[in-house]
């Protein structure tokens, strides 16, 4: 039996004795008997056999599984509580906990939280696989013995009494999320964005969205995987003044508009993600008077989107859709506050007119309701990575196309039977043909295009794992219309066929498939490169990565990156991309200004010259000029004013103090050199011209150090106030002072040595050395600079 194999593969070794003994159940059922024995006679199946089977299934095995689930969950909850007890509060941190102590606590906490999360995932899998096993066993029993004995009703009663599969993990997940967030902050892995939150720059943000389906079996594992990196955003209803961490995830409702010809649906199916859409959206129950947002979204062919959002009260929605009400009250408030000629007022009026005209011209009306529960993951104040997970997704017809049996009152804008009675998922009172429940969860990942979010290993691991199935163009609106209005439309999205398949994958199989896919991609890149160049390209690639077959072999074995990538060589994919963008400039098959040449030449004398900084920051900035000056791809526009440069200037105090501290150091060197040069000049005497000249040289260096320090201080202050991305390093000043002083000291020693030779030349080298040995400390202090230091 295939489920037996599934059960054996799902066993978590430490709990192997706690699972349902499926083989024992099959033996008690006598499944191996050739005769069905279940069609009335039951000559071989006695009352004692039935009692033994029922007792083993509904008592012995069920109690064992339930007891383990309860015990383990309580233990995990206690371990989480113990972790919370170990975390210092704010008063303890301020009282004397050092930064190293806090980091040690954070590391231990992360290790324990990872262990708890792992066991929580295994516990969820344990509950689900055993629940399936009980249902499978009951179904098999009723099929063989169903005419006389039925065990399914008994099992349902016992499952209600021992609900091991209905444990709510959300409270524990919120606690784990809070502790993960604290530990990451202490370790410096989570740092909120310093952008002014009052600045609304959404129109200039560029996000790349990824959509996936998540099977219900993998739902908890995906949640725990994400919350290790991103905290859960806690929903706070408008009626609550205090945030409640135990608050449930919010239920979102969207009502989509279209006409009886489904023009908007057809446009989105034909153009992929491009097209227009109109919807009403709110959070929670409509009876709680939530904020209702009317949104019109237009997506262009090049993924350019434009959103118009208007906030409307429930009582004005119907009159607004009919064009009888144009939000005069909101417009009047804006005019009173900003003036009738304000640009914001004009824009608001234009948006109202555009939405009403679009609804009227297209003949739009509510046709589809989508209800779902959303769990959002995001670092507060940092919107570079936003993740949402929608569960309990249900699509409900909201149309009035059939005048005899309309789903919605034609004189109302929504179904009153749902909102007045405050129905919730699974909407059991809705007729079968009017509702479609989506069997998976929908995961959406939005990543802001910036240098801080281009390399997220954990995101890549999640998106390439067996836990999710990618559906790039999935749309709730399109999916709901395709399922509930199949008689009205003639085109369907491609992902509908995936609903008939099991999206779960074995982790090992998924990993192998990913390895093969990456190997195929590398092979394709090799092939594309061979088409772009001549034999010179082939010989160049052979010198770096070997033949494509060898590269493919290394890629599959997992050693591709280590064998190809080295500190002085670019990756083949990077070289292929640059080769495709720019023709070769010489006969070596490499481009001028190639990364290899730059790095190799940087190892020579140039790396020691002060013409440019050789710090990691400076090298990264110099390497970045290539892509900064590169032409933008189609559909991407230069924002002109960067988001980081918007809003009021906020510079941390440590930045100013660091600049001032550097200036003070320069002045300290200047004063020290000036003091030493003045002492040398006064002690030299009238006849010691060498010492007096060198003292003037040291004075010149002192003046240079003072002027240089002041100039660099002003220059760096200007870069800070302008939010410049230029390199702050400048090695010319230290280089001049260091080399100049070294030369002066060498000359000082040389002149003194020559003077000693001239005074005692008749005595030979030994006499010279002896004379030098007889120099008094006063003479050395007058003529030598090094001992004075």
CA 573 to chain centre: 24
Q: What is the pLDDT of residues 309-368, one digit of tens each?
A: 999 999 999 999 999 999 999 999 988 888 888 899 999 999 999 999 999 999 999 999
Give the HSE-up count for residue 165: Cα atoms under 13 Å, Cβ half-sphere.
Answer: 18
Residue 377 has pLDDT above 60, yes or no: yes
How far is it, in rounded angstroms, from Cα 459 to Cα 164? Answer: 32
681-700 pLDDT tens trace: 777 777 777 777 878 888 88
* Tens-place pLDDT, residues 579-617: 233 333 333 333 333 333 333 334 444 444 444 455 555
The contacts of residue 522 (CB under 8 Å, 6+ apart) are: 548, 551, 552, 555, 560, 572, 573
| Residue 685 vs residue 776, higher pLDDT | 685
- Please report the pLDDT score of residue 602 as a whole number: 42
659 phi and psi angles, rounded to 5 deg:
-65, -45
Residue 627: φ, ψ to 5°: -75, -25
Decide: helix, strand or coil at residue 390: strand
The radius of gyration of the chain's CA atoms, rounded to the nearest angstrom, is 38
Residue 301 CB coordination number (10 Å) = 12
pLDDT at 583: 35
CATH 3.20.100.30 fits 202-505, yes or no: yes
Top-confidence residue, 301 or 516: 516
Q: Which pLDDT tens digit goes with each residue over 538-579?
A: 444 434 334 433 333 333 333 333 333 333 333 433 333 332
Q: Write down the domain spans for the chain.
A: 2-186, 202-505, 510-611, 653-783
- What is the Cβ-side half-sphere exposure of residue 202, based on CA atoms within 13 angstroms? 9
Lowest mean pLDDT among 32-41, 266-275, 637-646: 32-41
Distance CA 31, CA 25 (A): 9
State the average pLDDT over residues 500-516: 81
Name the residue with higher pLDDT: 780 or 720. 720
Confidence of residue 235 (pLDDT cuts 50, 70, 90): low
- DSSP lists the bridge partners of residue 365 as 258
Higher pLDDT, 739 or 197: 739
Question: Alpha-carbon distance 227 to 377, whole Å?
Answer: 7
Q: Is the pLDDT of residue 193 over 50?
A: no
pLDDT at 311: 93
Distance between CA atoms of 771 and 423, rounded to whole angstroms?
108
Q: Could you report the per-residue pLDDT of 470-479, keeping only the tens digit for each?
A: 888 899 999 9
Q: Which residues pair with 257 in a beta bridge?
A: 366
Q: Is residue 33 scored above 70 in pLDDT?
A: no
pTM over 0.95: no
Q: What angle do CA 390, 256, 430 make, to 5 degrees?
A: 70
Please state, in angstroms and rounded to a whole number, the distance separating the CA atoms of residues 683 and 782.
Answer: 6
Bridge partners (DSSP) of residue 293 are 281, 311
Give the 3-state secondary structure of residue 450.
coil
Question: Euclidean distance between the first and final Cα of the chain, in Å?
Answer: 89
pLDDT computed for residue 769 by the predictor: 41
């Amino acid at each position: 039996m295939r489920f037996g194999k599934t059960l054996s593969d799902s066993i978590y070794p430490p709990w192997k004795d706690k699972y349902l003994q499926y083989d024992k159940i099959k033996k008690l059922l006598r499944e191996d008997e050739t005769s069905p024995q279940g069609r009335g006679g039951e000559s071989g199946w006695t009352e004692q056999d039935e009692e033994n089977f029922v007792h083993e299934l509904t008592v012995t095995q069920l109690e064992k599984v339930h007891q383990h689930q309860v015990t383990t969950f309580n233990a995990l909850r206690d371990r989480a509580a113990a972790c919370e007890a170990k975390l210092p509060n704010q008063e303890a941190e301020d009282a004397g906990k050092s930064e190293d102590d806090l980091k040690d606590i954070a590391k231990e906490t992360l290790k324990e939280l990872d262990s708890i999360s792992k066991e929580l995932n295994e516990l969820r899998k344990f509950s689900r696989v055993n629940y399936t096993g009980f249902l499978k066993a009951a179904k098999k029993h009723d099929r063989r013995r169903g005419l006389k004995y039925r065990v399914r009703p008994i099992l349902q009663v016992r499952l209600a009494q021992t609900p091991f599969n209905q444990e709510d993990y959300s409270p524990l997940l919120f606690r784990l999320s809070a502790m993960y967030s604290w530990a990451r902050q202490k370790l410096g892995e989570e740092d909120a964005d310093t952008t002014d939150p009052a600045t609304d720059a959404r129109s200039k943000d560029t996000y790349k969205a990824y959509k996936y389906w998540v099977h219900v079996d993998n739902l908890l594992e995906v949640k725990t995987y994400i919350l290790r990196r991103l905290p859960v955003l806690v929903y706070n209803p408008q009626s609550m003044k205090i945030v409640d961490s135990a608050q449930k995830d919010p239920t979102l409702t969207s009502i989509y508009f279209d006409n009886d010809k489904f023009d908007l649906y057809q446009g989105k199916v034909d153009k992929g993600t491009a097209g227009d859409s109109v919807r009403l959206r709110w959070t929670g129950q409509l009876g709680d008077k939530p904020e209702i947002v009317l949104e019109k979204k237009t997506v262009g062919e090049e993924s350019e989107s434009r959103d118009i959002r208007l906030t409307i009260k429930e009582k004005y929605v119907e009159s607004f859709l009919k064009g009888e009400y144009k939000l005069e009250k909101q417009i009047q408030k804006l005019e009173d506050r900003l003036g009738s000629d304000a640009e914001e007022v004009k824009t608001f009026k234009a948006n109202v007119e555009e939405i009403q005209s679009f609804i009227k011209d297209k003949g739009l009306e509510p046709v589809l309701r989508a209800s779902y529960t959303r769990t959002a993951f995001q670092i507060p104040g940092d919107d570079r990575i936003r993740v949402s997970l929608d569960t309990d997704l249900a699509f409900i017809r909201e149309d009035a196309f059939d005048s005899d049996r309309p789903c919605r009152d034609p004189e109302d804008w929504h179904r009153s039977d749902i909102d007045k009675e405050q129905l919730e998922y699974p909407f059991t009172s809705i007729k079968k043909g009017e509702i479609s429940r989506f069997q998976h969860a929908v995961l959406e990942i939005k990543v802001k295009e910036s240098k801080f979010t281009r390399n997220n290993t954990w995101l890549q691991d999640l998106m390439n794992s067996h836990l999710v199935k990618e559906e790039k163009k999935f749309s709730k609106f399109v999916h709901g219309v395709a399922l509930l209005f199949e008689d009205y439309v003639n085109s369907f999205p491609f992902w509908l066929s995936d609903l008939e398949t099991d999206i779960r994958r074995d982790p090992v199989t998924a990993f192998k498939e990913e390895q093969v896919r990456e190997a195929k991609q590398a092979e394709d890149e090799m092939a594309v490169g061979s088409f772009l160049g001549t034999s010179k390209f082939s010989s160049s690639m052979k010198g770096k990565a070997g033949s494509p077959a060898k590269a493919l072999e290394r890629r599959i074995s997992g050693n591709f990156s280590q064998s190809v990538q080295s500190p002085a060589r670019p990756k083949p994919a990077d070289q292929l991309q640059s080769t495709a963008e720019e023709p070769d400039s010489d006969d070596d098959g490499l481009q001028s200004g190639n990364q290899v040449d730059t790095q190799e030449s940087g190892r020579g004398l140039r790396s020691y010259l002060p013409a440019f900084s050789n710090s990691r920051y400076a090298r990264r900035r110099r390497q970045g000029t290539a892509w900064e000056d590169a032409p933008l791809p189609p559909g991407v526009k230069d924002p002109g004013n960067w988001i980081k440069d918007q809003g009021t200037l906020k510079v941390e105090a440590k930045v100013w103090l660091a600049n001032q501290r550097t200036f003070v150091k320069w002045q300290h060197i200047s004063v020290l050199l000036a003091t030493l040069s003045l002492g040398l000049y006064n002690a030299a005497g009238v006849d010691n011209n060498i010492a007096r000249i060198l003292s003037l040289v040291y004075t010149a260096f002192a003046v240079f150090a003072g002027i240089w320090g002041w100039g660099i201080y002003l220059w760096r202050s200007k870069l800070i106030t302008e939010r410049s991305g230029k390199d702050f390093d400048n090695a010319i000043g230290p280089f001049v002072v260091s080399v100049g002083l070294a030369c002066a000291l060498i000359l000082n020693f040389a002149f003194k040595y020559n003077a000693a030779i001239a005074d005692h030349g008749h005595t030979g080298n030994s006499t010279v050395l002896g004379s030098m040995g007889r120099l008094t400390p006063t003479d050395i202090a007058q003529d030598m600079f090094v001992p004075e230091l």
